[in-house]
Amino acid sequence: MNGTPRPAAFLDRDGVLNFDDGYIGTRDRIRWMPGVAPAIRALNDANYFVFVVTNQSGVARGMFSEQDVRALHDWMRDELRRDGARIDDIRFCPHHQAGSVAAHAIACDCRKPKPGMLRALMATWPVRAQGSFVIGDKASDIAAAQAAGLPGFLFEGGDLADFIDRVLREMAR
Active site residues: 12, 14
Q: Determine the residue type at 138.
A: K
Q: Decide: 160 and 16 in contact? Cβ < 8 Å.
A: yes
Q: Is the dihedral of CA 61, 64, 70, 76 positive or negative?
A: negative
Phi, psi dihedrals of residue 99, rounded to the nearest 5°: -70, 160
Q: Decide: 49 and 8 in contact? Cβ < 8 Å.
A: yes
Task: Give the separation between CA 121 and CA 15, rounded to whole angstroms.
Answer: 21
